[in-house]
Structure formats: C-alpha cells, structure tokens
Structure 1
Amino acid sequence: MHIKISIFFIGYIVGCLGADEKEKSDITVNINGKYINITLDDPEVNSIFFSTEIGDECTSDYTYVHSANKSNTFSISLEKEPKKDDIIRIFSVIETKDHVISKTYDFNADGDATKNHVISKTNNFNADWHGTNEPKCILEESDSNSNRGCSGRLIFEENFKDNKLTNWIHAVCSRVHTNFKEFAAFLKNDNNCYIEDEKLHFKATLTGYRLGDNFTLPDCTYTKTDNRVILCGPYKFSISQPLPPMHSAILYNRKMRFKYGRIEIRAKMPIGDWLFPYLMLYPSKMEFETNIAFEPHIRIAYVRGNPHLRDYAHQDIGGNMLFGSVFSQIGDDFHEATVNMPHKSGSHYGDNFHDYTLIRHKDRIIFKVDGATVGTITDKRTIESLEETEYYIVLGLTAGGKLNFNENYVNLEKNFLLTPQAPSIFLESISENQSTWKHPKLVIDHVRVYTTHPDEN
C-alpha cells in the first residue's frame, strides 16, 4: 500500500513538470460546470488516481478509487468553473492488472483535446491513448431501471433575475411556542423577504410587541385545526406566553422534488447572535408548517450567527464553523449526524458568499463548500432511514431553536433558551445591543439542482 501511494504522489509531481513521450489508451472527458466526469474505456482497471488544474498551477482537486466501478466513470470537483478557452490539465495514475501508467491530458474548456503528453512509462506498456471532450451520457442515479436520463442534467434553477418568486410559496406561521422553540414568526412581507440586485434576501427584524398586545396571523398557512392557535394565534402577550420577538421569512418549493441529485446554493450567511439560516431539504410527505420538530430532514449547510459560541467541549461552534447534517429516526430515537469544517481563514462564513453543495446518493450524502468536501455521511442506519423519501427545498432565516441550539450540545450562559421567558430575554438583549447583528440577513444568489450518478464525489 505504501509503495502504491508513493507511485501516485510521484506521478502527480511529475505531471506538474510535464514530459513528451507517447502512450495509448482511451478516456472520455465531459466538462459540466465545476465538475469533470472522466470515463475509462479499459475494463481491466484496478485503481485510478486523477487530479486536475486550470492553467499552470497544480491544485488539490483529486479523486482516488482503489477498485474501478461498473461504469468506469469518475467525477472531480474543481474549485472554480472553467471559463471559455481555459486549459484544463488532468493528471492520471492508472493501475491495471499488469501495469501502472502515469499520464497527463490537456483539454480546452470549449474545444478539442490538445496534444497528449506522457508523464512516465512502466513495463514497456504501449497502448494507444487519446482524449476527447465530447459529451457522453452517464445514466443518472435512480431506483428505476427505466426512464433514466443522463446525469449532470440541470433539472431546476432559480437565479432571481426576473425579480419574481413564481416557484416559491411563503410559509406564514409562528414557531415561538411550538416544539421548535424558535424566536420567529414568518411572514409574507417585503420587509423580511425581497429580491435586490438579482439576489434573494431574508431579513430578520425585531418586533415591538408589549404586554397585553394581541398576536394573530390571518394569512397563516398552517391548515390543520390542532395546535392552530400556537402557530397562527390569536393570543395575548403574557409572562408565560410572550409574543414573537422577531419577524422573518421562509420559502419552499414543493413542486420541485427529487430523491438523488446534486443541489448547489450560493449564499451569504447571517451574522448576529442567535440567528440561524435554513438551507434544507424536507421530506415530501411533511409540511414545513408543523409542531412536530423531530421529523427526518437534511440540512445542506448551516452556520450559527454568533461570532463566538462554544460547545461543552469548549470547541468553537460559532460563525467560523460550517455544518451540514441529517436528522433521522433510528428505532424510537431521533439523531442528527453532522459534518463540519472551520473557515480556512478563521473568519465568519457570513463575511462573504460561498458555494454550498449537497450530493445525495443511495449509500452516502456528501457535503461541500466552494468545491471542497466538508464531509460524507455513510452510516447505514441513517441512510436507510431516508431511503424511501423524496425531498423539496426550504430556504429561510430564523433565530434560536431547540434543534438549532441544542442544549445537550451548545454551552449557553444561564441556559436562557430553555426558559419560558426566552423570547422576551432575546428581544431585550438584541434591542439593547443591535451591533451584535452585523448582517441580519441570509442572501442567496442562486439555487441549482442536477441529476447525479453513483460515482460522483
């Protein structure tokens, strides 16, 4: 194993230097946005290492597979999308039954492959290799063997360029006194949800309710009779039943449902104490407007708005730490499987826009930020709990919450989120020092959903 890894590393280094001998074999390259799909025609491949670069600088983008898959197709995610006429260089180390071949290929992002260059040659192997960027259909991942299209197809896009939200529905309800224990009532209001500069803005605003005031949402989208007063009102402000301290917005699209695929969201996260973004996938059988907090769902990415926040192990879980997670029910227990990644500069993720990606496969869920893998959830029980479910997209901004700031995980001073007066304490605290809300908005540039294939990483 150590020898094999050394060969791959040496091959990659030599690839950056280049060479001019010739060998032969067949690969097909399909460029799709930031993703490079590589298909090998040789069925006798035991292991493969591929790495890519744009221009002349080596990058850290790579994929390594020890055993070739049935389709012999592999995917690499680039850090940025190639521009027209960019040269994409692919380094490869391919192990067959009897040979190890190291090669590099140059491709024009909008044209044909350039002259192939051999990096090194082993055991006098001399097959005829060539490259092409002609599209090749790789069947999409599906539970059905019929009516399968090609992977990499764009099946949904929202870029907010028409200043309309025709694909989306507003959730109008309160989560203050539900099992979620959040601090927000979600409205259909231009102050809390609007399009500006071709970007979707969710903005948190503080309310001015006082003791004795009434709360009601006449356009509440919760349709059931049970718990309706909790989600919709009417009720009066009292010590034991504070009114919502914050207004915000939630949008969802229940018509766009998918099971397996890649969803990409470019967004700027909120900065501010107790703010929390929703970039989520909800099961199609579940309505967002509910009092049931522990339904399975997938969180594509989240960053707590607090610039500084620690867990009970004294690890920083504030705005410089990105999370992705899957809420699942395993037996009688509810469980959140998480992945995380600190910001490479130590700054808050809300300081800039980032690309958040989730790829759902039958056997794993992959989380990415800016093309880099945050983590992969492969736990069999977690994956199986989601097996039969299609999902729809939910976007929005909230604050607090029993799931978002779990008391078993988040180290909270005085544990104020658990008290009945938590909404009032939150409102008073933020009102006295609104400077903690440096950027009380979730801003989304675009949302895209693509079909995937089982080997996409």
Structure 2
Amino acid sequence: MLHVRSVHNDTGEPSNYQVNRNENEKASSFISDSDDVQRRLTQETADTIISASDYSIRSRRSYIRPYYRSRLVAKSEIEKPWTKERRSVWPTVIPCFGFACGLALIAVMIWLGVRSVPKHEYCLIMEDDFDGPTLNASIWQHEIQLGGFGNGEFEVTTNDTANVFLEDGKLVIKPTLQDASIIDTPYALVNLTAEGTCTSPVWSDCWASTNSTNHTIINPIKSGRINTKASASIRYGRVEVVAKMPAGDWLWPAIWLLPVNDVYGPWPASGEIDIVESRGNDRTYRYGGNNKVVSSLHWGPTKELDQSWRDTNTQRSLHSTYSAKFHTYALEWSEKYLYTYVDSRINHVIYTKYTKPQWTRGQFPQFSGGELISDPWNTNRFNTPFDTPFYLIINLAVGGTNGFFQDPDSHKPWVNTAANASAYFWGARDSWLPTWKEGQAQLEVDSVKMWQECG
C-alpha cells in the first residue's frame, strides 16, 4: 500500500495533497456504501419471484437476473399430473386390439375359403409333358380347317410343323403368314378336301378363294388347333394346363372344352367350357390385352340366346402380363358346381353352383326369331347341359368377327360386319406384324393333365 504524508501550508489549512486524500477517502466510502446497497438489493430481489406479467423496464434496470434463473419456476409450483393420475392405456390398447382382430378375421376367412373348396377323388386319365421329339399322335389330333370355326377367324389351321411343334419340352403353336402369292392371285383356290386333309364334314370349312370382285381373300394366316376328342374326355373331373400366353396384336389363344356329342342340340345347346382365353394385344388395348384372361360357360337353346354373359369373368395381372411367364389354368367340375382358376384353387375366375335348372336360370322367352323356344335340357339335373363327356382343345386363333375383338375400335383394322374383314386385316399388316416378336407371338404349353372323377 502507498502511504502519502499529510502536508499543511503556512495558513494552517490542509495542503492540496491533504484535500485530495480526503476526497479520495470520501469517494471510497461512497463506493463501499453503494456496494452494500447493491448487495442488499440483489438479495432482496433474488428472494422475490417476478412473474412475466409484473416484469417491467424498471425492475429490469434495478436488477438484471442471472441468465440461468430467467425462466425457472419454483419447484413447489411445477405441476406433475402423471404423478397424480395414471396414464390411460386405452389409446394404445384399442388400436392394437383392432389390429389383432383384423388379422384373426383374415385368417378365419382364408381358412373358410380353403375349407369351402370341395375335395373329390380323381383318377388321372391323361398326362402329357411334351418331352418327346414330336407331338403324341395317340393323344392329340390336328384340326385342319379354314372356315373360321364359327367365329370368322382369319387363320387356316394346319398340321404343319412350322405351326405346331415341340421345342425344349414344350408344345408350341405359332402363327405364320400365308403365301402372299396365293393371296394376291385373282381367283386362287385352296381346297383342303381335294388335298385330303380337311377334318371337318362341313364343305364350307374346307375351301376358300381369293375374289378380286368382292375383295375377299384366302385366309392370310396359318396357325394350329389340336384336341383330345378321340383319346381323352371327362364327365366331371379336373383339368390343369400350364401355359404361357402369346404377345402380339390380334392373337387369340384359347384352352377350352366341347362336348364329345351334341346331346342337347347344336352349339350352344350342348354347352362349351372356356377355361382360359386371352388377347395378344398389350395392356393399352381398350378391351384388355395380354394382361387379362377370360373364363366363360356357353349355354342356351339357340345361338341368339347364348347365356355366356351370366357365366363370364376376367382376371387381370396387376404387375405383369400372362405372356411374361407360365401359369396354371385349370377347371374343376362336378354335378353341383363348375369353376375355373389360375394358379390356385382359391383363385377363382368363374364359379357356378347348380342350385336350379338352367332353363329356369336362363329365364328364356317363349319365342325367339319367330320360333317357339322349348327346354332342351329336361333331364331333372340342374347342371344340364354340363353333364356329358367333354374333350380338351388348345388353339391359337388370329382375329375374328364374332365380337371377341369388339367394335367400335379405331385401332382395329377391320369391322366385324364386313364380308371381307380378313382382307382389311391383311392390308394393315404393317401395323400389327411388327408386334409379333420372334419367340413371343406363340402359345406355349408346358404340361397338360386330365382327371376323371372316380367312382
């Protein structure tokens, strides 16, 4: 510490050094007093809780609280409701309970669906894996015709190995183009009867000609159609065909059954069972292309009264097409029901139960086309006409005028009512032929199995 000696002047008054010292001591005393006051204010203010509503510029100036206490509230005033009331568990339990019930309901529905599928004892009567070098002639017969099979189809079916053959353990039915010279030659004639190859007893199914006057032409496409009529048929049973649908505009694959004998009259009085049909067009086709398959039952006393609309259904492939890979297309048929499915027995396409006579179910008029209509199925069986032996058909058609490729359609190169529809189709080949890619525009079958209901 620095000590300064006090010095007086001659008048006895304190010198400037003394005055300065006194003033410094007073200032020090004032500062000390101020510090005491500040400490007291700090202590008093710290003991007082200033709420946000009472906080003012004046209180802020009188005391600036430490940062860590600016938003704290006394412990005694903090509310803790969870210590007074137990948290409710229902908002958690109810959704979990509902989810569990939903899973249980789904499981029950699946179980009931599987349980509802009838189980019958079947006897295998035909199986073909197509492992041989050629088509097994003891099982399959070629249909060689060019009459359009009642559908106005544009192909002539052949037994040519370019159209029906085995490859890599699979049956392949492939469409090819007709010889252009035959199509373009005026009045050219194809006569299958003269060639000794026609398999139809109907003369109009065995010949065709090119007529430049009415612009009709010989069938512009060759394809294939085979059946088991002479070798294997079933009356109630099961059919499974593992196949891959073709891709290409206006291709029409079909796996189906017809009665061995027209017991109840000409088509559709004796019935028709379509296990699967499809179109080769892509998914942009307005009526469904190779992303959709169709199953149908045809029955009725006359062609005009066909009731297939009652027993037709479709199934779509959501993320692929039926021409992308092989699927199992199947039929299960008994006296009490008939259904088709894809890949799984619970994945039905159509399901028909026979609970009343078909004549009653059809609600047919008394007259049609000026003719009296009578019941052709007076057998006292509800499933008639689907109560006789049926045989299997596999074919690949092209085009047609029966409405499977419907009108109107601005992209379809023919009109179904035109007499020369196939000529219009042929004339537009630059639009559809590029869609027939090699290895894709063909129906492929990996295996076929047929079972008869035993007993």
Shorter-normalised TM range: 0.5 to 0.7
8 Å contact from structure 1 (residues 266, 446) kept in 2: yes
8 Å contact from structure 1 (residues 180, 401) kept in 2: yes
* Corresponding residue of 1:161: 131
Secondary structure at the counterpart of residue 218 of structure 2: coil
What amino acid maps onto 1:341 in structure 2?
Answer: Q
* Corresponding residue of 1:170: 142
Measure, in 2, the Cα distance between the counterparts of 1:188 and 1:173: 10
Report the alpha carbon displacement of residue 175 of structure 1 after superposing the two structures with TM: 2.6
8 Å contact from structure 1 (residues 159, 199) kept in 2: yes
Secondary structure at the counterpart of residue 248 of structure 2: coil
Q: Percent identity?
A: 22
Measure, in 2, the Cα distance between the counterparts of 1:396 and 1:344: 25
Q: 1:433 to 1:409 in 2, by over 3 A?
A: closer
8 Å contact from structure 1 (residues 172, 219) kept in 2: no
Give the structure with the higher percent strand. 1
The match for 2:242 among 257, 266, 276 is 266
* Corresponding residue of 2:428: 429
- Taking the TM superposition and a 5 Å limit, the aligned residue runs for 1:304-319 are 304-308=279-283, 316-319=287-290
- Taking the TM superposition and a 5 Å limit, the aligned residue runs for 1:364-443 are 364-371=337-344, 372-378=347-353, 380=356, 381=358, 384-403=383-402, 405=404, 407=406, 413=412, 416-438=415-437, 439-443=440-444
Report the alpha carbon displacement of residue 406 of structure 1 after superposing the two structures with TM: 5.7
* Corresponding residue of 1:299: 274
Secondary structure at the counterpart of residue 323 of structure 2: helix
The match for 2:317 among 343, 346, 351 is 343
Q: 1:8 to 1:256 in 2, by over 3 A?
A: farther
Within the alignment, does 1:285 sit opposite 2:271 as a pair?
no
8 Å contact from structure 1 (residues 430, 436) kept in 2: no
Q: 1:412 to 1:161 in 2, by over 3 A?
A: same
> What is the alpha-carbon root mean square deviation over aligned residues?
3.3
Within the alignment, does 1:10 sit opposite 2:61 as a pair?
no
What amino acid maps onto 1:215 in structure 2?
Answer: V
Give the structure with the higher percent helix. 2
TM-score (norm 1): 0.61
* Corresponding residue of 2:51: none
8 Å contact from structure 2 (residues 146, 208) kept in 1: no
Q: 1:162 to 1:333 in 2, by over 3 A?
A: same
Structure having greater relative contact order (Cα 8 Å, sep ≥ 6) = 2
Within the alignment, does 1:360 sit opposite 2:333 as a pair?
yes
Q: 1:408 to 1:297 in 2, by over 3 A?
A: farther
Point out where structure 1 has 5 or more consecutive residues left out of the alignment: 1-5, 14-47, 52-60, 66-72, 76-139, 141-150
* Corresponding residue of 1:58: none
Measure, in 1, the Cα distance between the counterparts of 2:338 and 2:432: 40
Q: 1:431 to 1:296 in 2, by over 3 A?
A: farther
Measure, in 2, the Cα distance between the counterparts of 1:168 and 1:361: 25
Measure, in 2, the Cα distance between the counterparts of 1:433 and 1:7: 53
Point out where structure 2 has 5 or more consecutive residues left out of the alignment: 1-99, 363-381
In terms of Rg, which structure is larger?
Answer: 2
Measure, in 2, the Cα distance between the counterparts of 1:307 and 1:396: 20
Within the alignment, does 1:447 sit opposite 2:448 as a pair?
yes
8 Å contact from structure 1 (residues 267, 355) kept in 2: yes
What amino acid maps onto 2:216 in structure 1?
Answer: Q
Measure, in 1, the Cα distance between the counterparts of 2:106 and 2:291: 32
- Taking the TM superposition and a 5 Å limit, the aligned residue runs for 1:200-279 are 200-207=171-178, 208=180, 209-212=183-186, 213-217=188-192, 218-224=195-201, 227-228=202-203, 230-233=204-207, 235-238=209-212, 239-254=214-229, 255-279=231-255
8 Å contact from structure 1 (residues 407, 415) kept in 2: no
Secondary structure at the counterpart of residue 348 of structure 1: coil
What amino acid maps onto 2:196 in structure 1?
Answer: D
Measure, in 2, the Cα distance between the counterparts of 1:202 and 1:188: 10
Report the alpha carbon displacement of residue 248 of structure 1 after superposing the two structures with TM: 0.4
Report the alpha carbon displacement of residue 242 of structure 1 after superposing the two structures with TM: 1.4
Q: 1:421 to 1:223 in 2, by over 3 A?
A: closer
